[in-house]
Amino acid sequence: MTYMLRLCATAALLAAGANCLAADRIGNAAENNLDVPSEQGIMVGFPPAPENLITLQNQGGPRFVRWSIMHSASNFPTARVSRGTNSISPLPQGRPLDVESIQTRDDNGNPISMREFYRRTGLDAMLVLYQGRVVFERYLGDMRPTTLHGMFSCTKSLVGTLAATLAYEGKLDLSAPARRYVPELAASALGGATLQQLLDMRANYRFGDDIHQSGSVQRIFHQALGVMPRPKDYNGPDGAYALLMSAQPAGEHGTGPFRYDNGSTQALGWVMQRATGKSMSQLFSERFWSPLGAEQDADMVLDVKKAEWTAAGMSANLRDLARFGEMMRLDGVFNGKRIVPSEIVADIRKGGDKAAFAASPSGPSRPGGSYHNQWWINHDAYDSYNCAGHYGQRVWIAPKGEAVIVQLSTDLGEASAQEPLRQRTYRAIVEALRRTAGNPATR
Amino acid sequence: MTYMLRLCATAALLAAGANCLAADRIGNAAENNLDVPSEQGIMVGFPPAPENLITLQNQGGPRFVRWSIMHSASNFPTARVSRGTNSISPLPQGRPLDVESIQTRDDNGNPISMREFYRRTGLDAMLVLYQGRVVFERYLGDMRPTTLHGMFSCTKSLVGTLAATLAYEGKLDLSAPARRYVPELAASALGGATLQQLLDMRANYRFGDDIHQSGSVQRIFHQALGVMPRPKDYNGPDGAYALLMSAQPAGEHGTGPFRYDNGSTQALGWVMQRATGKSMSQLFSERFWSPLGAEQDADMVLDVKKAEWTAAGMSANLRDLARFGEMMRLDGVFNGKRIVPSEIVADIRKGGDKAAFAASPSGPSRPGGSYHNQWWINHDAYDSYNCAGHYGQRVWIAPKGEAVIVQLSTDLGEASAQEPLRQRTYRAIVEALRRTAGNPATR
């Protein structure tokens, strides 16, 4: 296949071969976390068998979700995040790292293979950049270099980076309440939260009856947008705007623990769209994808009223996410071009309120961590921080490790269960890179 | 704006300026054919006013159709026609041609300005290649270099070129009936038509009751796919496959006049997908967009059952369509790479059955013309031929004029009404280019 040849032709050491391996299959197909949709007949054939046809009703189900994650635009209306008309920026190859020979450890300290890591985290693709060069690039199953993979809440970190940039430019005041930009939010509990509170997930409000059951809140959110099927008697909010308007108070904003939610990010999108007169897809294109020299367009799912799913609706390919991560590692510069101010990257690295984070349900899975401007800050030896999307999406940036790791996954397990394993494994990869530092990554 | 700067920076003669003009507005906004959706508030604002919100019900209406034509993926689920991972092929700039000073003539022989031509044909964008160089590139209203514009039945010419290529490679037998590749079509009147009859629009069958009223047949086709809203009591075919299975006999295939229709092309898509095991979007990517070095992905609308709208569902940007046209002008080679066999291009240029064409409803608008392998052949002094899509989409290839003209439009008038004007104007542009041949297009 074309992409396989290309990757291999540009790899530094064909003999090492580790990052020449193209999309393939690992493990036992019965292990759901690595099931390959095309091998299961899903959407295969013209037409596919009825039981293998994706519909709005079944698209999120465990048997179909991996196909859906790789085909957002085939399930929903989308807006394009255009790569613009720039030429494609280089993503140079470095000396391949034999990632698959690296051993990592499970939560009990027992050694496990990288392939077992793939299985436990439902890996679709992974790319490792070291000192700006690709040292590992791997696609499993149906995943391809051109596949737009759902980023889910990794979308949030683009939103946060953009909001901080607009604030730096004087286009937003992060200490102002959301209602200053979206006056009709004065009628919603979200309107009184400052942009900084929204960015740091410190707004206190609820959708519907139950603030505490995240499953319930998720359901309300996704049914309102129409990305999850609605029951026949559905009478909840119709679309994201109506949902945001329905937020009820649940305490003073800025108090209490970190409270991760989708409404805050969706509200930030509304604010930025009003402040700039541009859609999120246009802003992401103008501010990120176009200046980064992305090689593929990205896209964003639209809700039932054609509003962009700002909180979690973007899909992108592996390599362009690596470009975005590398830009963050380099304090806002990529390919010789300043994309975001260094000050906002430094501020993100510094992190957020550790006590509020530790007191939250997210605390145990990230000991010592914090959250700031829609990024998860790890406060580890590498000063690492990352975006985090449902089903295991990560762009992990390790400035002091000179590394960026992008993982795209379809992890059907509990969202945060594998977080310690992921973090440990990313650090193990950086350690392996540094051990071979006598063999510099530059060719 | 970025794209304006780029176009201008690379133009040979900034002073001439004609192809440095960026997207702008021409004429009276009351002249519907040039209305600019964003100026009318359509989908403007967060959220847009209710009367300006696009829905499945209103998306095809005269007030909304220009927005819809530029946003297929925001209206319908789509499959991507990936540009792949190749670098972008050059589309070099030539000496700008002052197209807007060219005079053309209306059907009565009266001189009209090029701007009047824009108005009558509802122009969104136009690009002229002469000797392989861009001598004119113009975007009106909301149209941008990155906009994917509906190609409508221009999609058919990609289908025909692909089918001829697969036949050349021995993967299809054009003299075989469709049912050889899709056995279940034995139960449909389409199954007995040979692939060549389908390619040349010489199959005789009907959908529903009325073969003669093209409006009725169009409605049946588009409601079946779900790209046109269905009435509440709709009980017609559900999706393209069911529609194709419902075709009833209407005479012997290959007899009678040329009979332009959508079902033949949709059936060819089914045949090619079965013969190759690949979707049309994958085939278009592998065979055209990727080897051409396209600068943008294209996309294809999916029907209610996620089948690709092969007959008319592709959207693409202006410049990549120019690349495709230039490849056809160069007998199948682009950027030094053979994309399709020269023999199939020569065969398309030769054309089809002129008598069958003259006897058809299409005859009067294209005197002396013919149709072959899903292309319209003009049999003029320039050996020109073109694809033709609803609302005025054209890729016009003039081998003996060394020119390719791409026009993307939202012409709300009767489909074929402006065909003589368009052909006359394209020839006037080539004549102007040849008059300035003393000033070669090369820089």
Q: How many CB atoms lie within 10 A of CB B20?
A: 19
Same domain, A317 and A427: yes
CA distance B241 to B244: 5
- Inter-axis angle of helices B419-435 and B114-121, nearest 10: 150
Q: Given A6, A47, A78, which is nearest B73 (Cβ)?
A: A78
Chain CA centroid to CA A47, Å:
32
Give the domain CATH number at A113: 3.40.710.10
The upper half-sphere exposure of residue B208, i.e. CA atoms within 13 Å in the direction of its Cβ, equals: 19
Query: Residue A221 sits in which domain range?
Result: 162-273
**A228 and A188 within one domain:** yes
Alpha carbon of B354: minimum distance to chain A alpha carbons (Å): 35
| B306 interaction partners in chain A (CB closer than 8 Å) | 43, 53-54, 74
CA distances from A438 to A16, A103, A443 (A): 17, 20, 13
Pair A287, A434 in one domain: yes
Does residue A66 lie in a domain region?
no
CA gap B30, B18 in Å, rounded: 26
Indicate whether A241 and A124 sit together in one domain. no
Q: How confident is the model at residue B26 (pLDDT cuts 50, 70, 90)?
A: low
Which of A38, A85, A278, A281 has the most B C-beta neighbours within 10 Å, making it the best mutation to test the interface with B? A85
| pLDDT per position as a tens digit, A402-423 | 999 999 999 998 878 899 999 9
Say whether pLDDT at B48 is over 70. yes
Question: For residues B395 and B160, is the Cβ–Cβ distance under 8 A?
Answer: no
| Residue labelled with tokens 């029951």 | A231
Partners of A307 on chain B (C-beta within 8 Å) are 46-47
Which residue of chain A is at minimal alpha-carbon distance from B239?
A: A47
* pLDDT per position as a tens digit, A30-65: 457 889 999 999 999 999 999 999 999 999 999 999
Query: What confidence tens digit (pLDDT) does each residue in B152-175 have?
Result: 999 999 999 999 999 999 999 999
Residue B363 tokens, joined: 């005859």
Q: Is residue A434 part of a domain?
A: yes
Residues A365 and A384 in one domain: yes
Contact criterion met (CB < 8 Å) for A296 and B82: yes
pLDDT band at residue B208 under the 50/70/90 scheme: confident
Q: Residue B438 — pLDDT band, cuts 50, 70, 90? A: low
Of B15 and A143, more confident: A143
For residue A234, the domain's CATH number is 1.20.58.710
**Same domain, residue pair A360 and A413:** yes
Quick check: A275 pLDDT over 50? yes
Stretch among A29-33, A225-229, B11-15 having the lowest mean pLDDT: B11-15
Question: What pLDDT, on the 0 to 100 scale, is given for residue A31?
Answer: 59
- The count of CB pairs under 8 A between chains A and B is 98
Cross-chain residue pair B74–A78, CB shorter than 8 Å: yes
Would you state the pLDDT for residue A213?
A: 57
Q: Which amino acid is at A101?
A: S
Residues A221 and A181 in one domain: yes
DSSP state of A90: P
Whether A214 has a pLDDT exceeding 60, the answer reads: yes
Tell me whether residue A320 is in a domain.
yes
| A147, part of any domain | no
Out of A84, A270, A307, closest to residue B146 by CB:
A84
Residue B351, in any domain of the structure: yes
Q: What amino acid is encoded at B412 in this protein?
A: L
In a domain, A146, yes or no: no
CA distance A80 to A336: 26
The reply to whether B232 falls in a domain is no
What letter represents residue A351's amino acid? G
| DSSP element (H, E) containing B111 | strand B111-113
Question: Which residues of A are less than 8 Å from B279 in CB distance?
Answer: 46
Same domain, A339 and A425: yes
Which residue of A1, A7, A8, A46 is the best one to mutate when testing the B interface, meaning the one whose CB has the most B CBs within 10 A?
Answer: A46
- Buried-state track A78-116, b at ≥16 Cβ within 10 A, e below 16: bbbbbbbbbebbebebbbbbebbebebeeeeeeebebeb
Q: Is residue B329 part of a domain?
A: yes
Residues A116 and A176 in one domain: no
Rounded distance between C-alpha atoms, residue B352 and residue B332, angstroms: 19
Res B61: pLDDT: 93
- Confidence check: pLDDT of A6 > 90: no
Q: Are A10 and A93 in contact (CB under 8 A)?
A: yes
Rounded average pLDDT over A262-275? 98
Residue A88 to residue B88, Cβ atoms within 8 A: yes
pLDDT tens, residue by residue, A85-106: 999 999 999 999 999 999 999 9
Count of domains for chain B:
1
Amino acid letter, residue B296 = Q
* Rounded to 5°, angle at Cα B262 from B258 and B265: 90
Looking at the structure, tell me whether residues A177 and A194 fall in a common domain: yes
- Show residues of chain B in contact with A273, CB under 8 Å: 46
Cβ–Cβ below 8 Å for A305 and B82: no
Instruction: List strands edge to edge, sheet with B370-372.
Output: B133-139, B123-130, B403-409, B393-398, B385-389, B375-377, B370-372
Interface probe with A: pick from B42, B72, B74, most Cβ of A within 10 Å: B74
Q: Do A296 and B297 touch (CB under 8 A)?
A: yes
- Shortest alpha-carbon distance between residue A38 and chain B (Å): 12
d(CA B298, CA B148): 7
Per residue in B386-411, pLDDT (tens digit) is 999 999 999 999 999 999 999 999 99
Mean pLDDT of B135-151: 98
Between A24 and B368, residue with greater pLDDT: B368
Integer angstrom CA distances of residue B276 from A244, A351, B82, B159, B344: 47, 53, 18, 14, 19
One domain, residues A255 and A115: no
Q: Give the range among A261-275, A324-338, B15-29, B57-71 with minimum mean pLDDT.
A: B15-29
Residue-wise pLDDT tens digits, B328-364: 999 999 999 999 999 999 999 999 999 999 999 999 9
Q: How far is CA A344 from CA A124, A168, B301, in A?
A: 31, 8, 40
pLDDT mean over B81-97: 96
Residue pointed to by tokens 């899509």: B389
Average pLDDT over residues A344-372: 96
Claim to verify: residue A237 and residue A328 sit in the same structural domain:
no
Which residues in chain B have Cβ-Cβ distances shorter than 8 Å to A242? none
